[in-house]
Amino acid sequence: MRPGRSRIARLAAGLLAGAVLACAASPAQAGPEASSAAPARGPAVAGEVDHHMHVHSPAILDFLPHYCSSEGRIGPCPVEFTKAYSPEDLVAQMDAAGIARGLVMSTAYLAESPMMQPPRPDAPRILREANAWTVGLARRFPGRFGIYVGVNPVTATALPEIAHWGANRDVTGIKLHLTNSSASLRKPGDVARLAQVFDMARRTRLAIMIHMRTRETDYGARDVATFVREVLPAAGDTPVQIAHAAGWGGIDAQTLSALRAFADAIEADPAIARHLTFDLAMVWKADTSEQDLAALASLIRRIGPEHFVPASDFPFSGDLVDYYGKVYPRLPLSADEWHTILDNHPAYDRADFAQTRTRP
Ligand SMILES: [Zn+2]
């Protein structure tokens, strides 16, 4: 299950392959060569654990046509998002990329998204069914997945749903998605509810994974300041993973502002980062500018590569061999920095985290 070759050798091959592809004269020349070479060379830079993956449950697949055609959507659903990938498809992708273990984020919270208009009266049932199916993956594929149940943190369902799963020893953590939940770090009521959710996670020792970028067009430093001051302390010593390096995928001024604010806060008080990690899921793409890549790399250095973890946001990443082999090596980090990130194993990575987190 574990990749047989040394990670450093694979990393070196990956960085080289990335450089070769970046220099390729035309896509037509690079295409066939790259696709035939990739399986033989194997994955270049996938870590042993992918910290951010999705596979929709049947309950959410049933719900998606209603959700994607809802008037409350801010845009159409991406094609990758609506495809019916099976857990077997996900495992096959992981095997091809040499990934031993994936942290699977339940998409149950979609059922309680305010983007669903009119709201479904049976949303709590869909939420529960979707989470239950996702939790079942832990037993169906022993050791392969860490399971995060999804909730919308600003609904009345959030705390009871977390309490329901708190004692379940197949559950690693909770997944929150502030954009999808239309939660704001500028509304005191939302901030208070988020702090309650973090406190509940602390009491049940569930890890937290949060997509914290909100829908505010000027999201950034001030939202991070509120989060660090009023939400994060409620988590205590339970681990918190910030998705997409504090953005929502891609690099723009807002994401850099947010990540810079974390760097400033951690430099002022390193204790903030003790249980904090940032995932690198879909933060840069095949066409991200060198300038943006350099800006991200310098913020990773300020915060410390030991606070970053590899992740794909599959299925949004597309094929994982391509993603880790071609897109990942574009980030201009040193071999040592890459090694630190790819071999970074926070406590919640471990297969026994879910079994051992519940207090007697
Ligand atoms: Zn995601």
Mean pLDDT by 10 residues, the chain (360 residues): 44 44 34 33 68 97 92 84 93 96 97 93 96 98 97 96 96 97 97 98 97 98 98 97 98 98 98 97 97 98 98 95 94 94 94 82
Superfamily of domain 7-357: Metal-dependent hydrolases (3.20.20.140)
- Distance of CA 358 from the midpoint of ligand 1 (Å): 26
For the chain, domain boundaries: 7-357
- For 125-166, write each residue's pLDDT tens digit: 999 999 999 999 999 999 999 999 999 999 999 999 999 999
Separation of CA 256 and ligand 1 centre (Å): 19
Q: Ligand 1 centre from 23 Cα, in Å?
A: 31
Q: Could you tell me which residues come within 8 angstroms of residue 50 by beta carbon, excluding any fewer than 6 positions away?
A: 94, 99, 101, 102, 103, 310, 311, 312, 314, 320
Per residue in 162-173, is it b (16+ CB within 10 Å) or e — as a string?
beebbebebbbb
pLDDT (tens digit per residue) in 282-318? 999 999 999 999 999 999 999 999 999 999 999 999 9
Compute the distance from residue 53 Cα to the ligand 1 centre, in Å.
6
**Helices and strands, number each (H, E), in the chain:** 15, 8
CA 99 to chain CA mean position, Å: 15
Q: How far is the CA of 52 from the centre of ligand 1 (A)?
A: 6
pLDDT (0 to 100) of residue 71: 87
CB atoms within 10 A of CB 197: 27
Judge if the upstream peptide bond of residue 119 is cis by omega within 30 degrees of 0: no
**pTM > 0.85: yes or no:** yes
Q: How far is the CA of 347 from the centre of ligand 1 (A)?
A: 20
Distance CA 261, CA 275 (A): 17
Question: Cα of 313 to ligand 1 centre, how many Å?
Answer: 5
Structure tokens at 354: 């879910």
